Amino acid sequence: KESFEGHQVLRIIPKDDIQLSLIKELEDMIHFEVDFWKEVTRVNTPVDVRVPFHSLQSVKIYLETQGIEYSIMIEDLQVMLDEEQKEMMSVARAPEPRN
């Protein structure tokens, strides 16, 4: 099962067209292996992007050097997935229908 340990989801809000295109460029940097949960649309509309642990520092530096503000929407994705799984497992399942 794929682990998302250390992956963060960043919420980026582009302030102008230049920032929009810079965020779009991030999409083309395939070595970062980012996953856009919410694609780039327009100025002031949030972009959500999942960033693997190995790219976190590079992506954050890229955003910061370009003056693009972001916040961390999800601190550690795997923690949330573990909670989700735990919740699913803890629920008493309805009995399977009889054959």
Helix (H) or strand (E) segment spanning residue 61: helix 53-65
Number of residues near other proteins (by CB under 8 A): 29
Helix (H) or strand (E) segment spanning residue 90: helix 77-90
Residue 88 makes contact with other proteins by CB under 8 A: yes
* Distance in angstroms (rounded) separating the CA atoms of residues 50 and 94: 34
Looking at 13, 37, 62, 76, which residue binds other proteins (CB under 8 A)? Answer: 37
Binding site for other proteins (CB under 8 A): 1-2, 4, 9, 11, 30, 35-41, 46, 48, 50, 73-74, 77, 80-81, 84, 87-88, 91, 93-94, 96-97
